[in-house]
Amino acid sequence: MSRDGSTAIVAKRTAQRPVQTDEIRALCESAGLDVVGERTQVRGRDPTYDLGAGAVQDIADRVDRADVDVVVVDDDLDPEQAFSLEEQIGASVVDRTRLVLDIFADRAETKRARLEVRLAELRYELPRAEAKAKRGESSGRRGFKSGGEEPQAAQMRADYKQRIKHLRETLDQLDDADESVRDARRGSGFDLVALAGYTNAGKSTLLRRLADDLDVDRNDRRHDDLTDTAASEDRLFETLNTTTRRATVDDRDVLVTDTVGFVSDLPHWLVSSFRTTLAAAREADVVLLVVDASDSLETVRGKVETSLDELADASGTVLPVLNKRDVAGDLDAKRSLVGDLAGDPVVTSATENGGIDDLRNSLGDSLPDRERVELSVPNTDDGNAFVSWCHDHGTVRDPSYGDTIDFELQARREVAAKAEGRAAQLGDD
């Protein structure tokens, strides 16, 4: 749902100081909202409004005076809290999760992303639709309960769950297709690298620094993450859709995928709705965990810990990258902190192209070891075509040409095994 041009007041309650609103304001900006004010409060959670009654009344007065369209609450509201706030304030109330879903919906360009967004929206809307049905709002009598209300709520619940089930089944099919693509890319000799981390950490800019001039294949449109460019605007969720580019690390062909950024304080069910998108990171050979060095020390700690939780089942190596060193304070302390949590980080400045060579070297060291096989094939047209294939899928060392072509191939295990089989077949022909 686009909110472009709407005015908003940001409201945030926290149990202890400091009260930080930078991220929720950035989320509002990404959603197209014009933030015209904010109201913060330090206190425990109110069961009726989340915010305290005094803050709610203050917001209601501001909404009335300035004709504000939306109040954005930087918290997850249960359905009753959202209903109560809207009644009291007299404006649309959006909580943090709803705002993020709106941004996701605006950024979703691929079939996969659109399906995942819709799945997340349905899971968010289900308890709210149930609460609305129980309030009797379908008859326009808020708070009035009729004998037909419970059956209506039950039917609504069944409808939502059926739609959720259908979306999950469709996404499972895409999971299988994505796994086939990853297997095919590995079988073609590519190592798979993913960029992960919080939004606005500089992942897209790092992708541009690492990538070669050419994309994976300008004529290949079978997989919707292939693109010529990777956007790097300074806004949250610029890359909801994954973007894959070709890179060369040492003498190895690598595919680097920029994935959707993490956001703090999102419920687990919302993150899990994007499992196919995050699979690019979890199934990569190496995950570059990009950390914003301009954040405060405690913010760095929280973001790294949350990112590691999301990557706990990653199959490859997690290599931390402390980015934005050009605008960072307490850099040594942050380097030490990230090192304690995730391993020794590579320190970079993607905007200034600083530390990129160090990153390439560390990435090369983190890639999976390659098999070394000695091969010998007849020096024929078929034999030369096979050597050319080996050049495309790995690294050919010390070739010698006589009656046979003898050489060493360094390649991924899958490629080396296939090469040995093809060489044996050529030798038998």
Binding site for Mg(2+), residues? 204, 239
Is the sign of the CA dihedral 102, 107, 109, 114 positive or negative?
Answer: negative
Give the residue ranges of the annotated binding site. Answer: 197-204, 239, 258-261, 323-326, 349-351
The span from the CA of 12 to the CA of 27, in Å, is 13
With a CB cutoff of 8 Å and minimum separation 6, the contacts of 387 are 377, 396, 399, 405, 407
The span from the CA of 191 to the CA of 193, in Å, is 7
Q: How far is CA 388 from CA 42, 59, 419, in A?
A: 67, 70, 12
Give the residue ranges of the annotated binding site for GTP. Answer: 197-204, 258-261, 323-326, 349-351
How far from each other are the two terminal CA atoms of the chain, in whole angstroms? 63
Cα 148 to the center of its chain, rounded Å: 43
- Half-sphere exposure (CA, 13 Å, Cβ side) for 82? 23
- At 202, is the secondary structure helix, strand, or coil? coil
Q: Nearest CA to 73 among 65, 368, 63? A: 63
Residue 31 φ then ψ, to 5° = -85, 0
Residue 194 φ then ψ, to 5° = -125, 145
DSSP per-residue string spanning 223-234: STTB-S-----S
- DSSP bridge pairs for 193: 256, 286
- DSSP bridge pairs for 317: 286
Residue 132 φ then ψ, to 5° = -65, -40
Cα 6 to the center of its chain, rounded Å: 27
DSSP per-residue string spanning 56-76: HHHHHHHHHHHT--EEEESSP
**Per DSSP, which regions of 1-65 are E strands?**
7-14, 34-42
Is the sign of the CA dihedral 172, 31, 6, 267 positive or negative?
Answer: positive
Q: How far is CA 381 from CA 190, 384, 404, 405, in A?
A: 26, 5, 12, 11
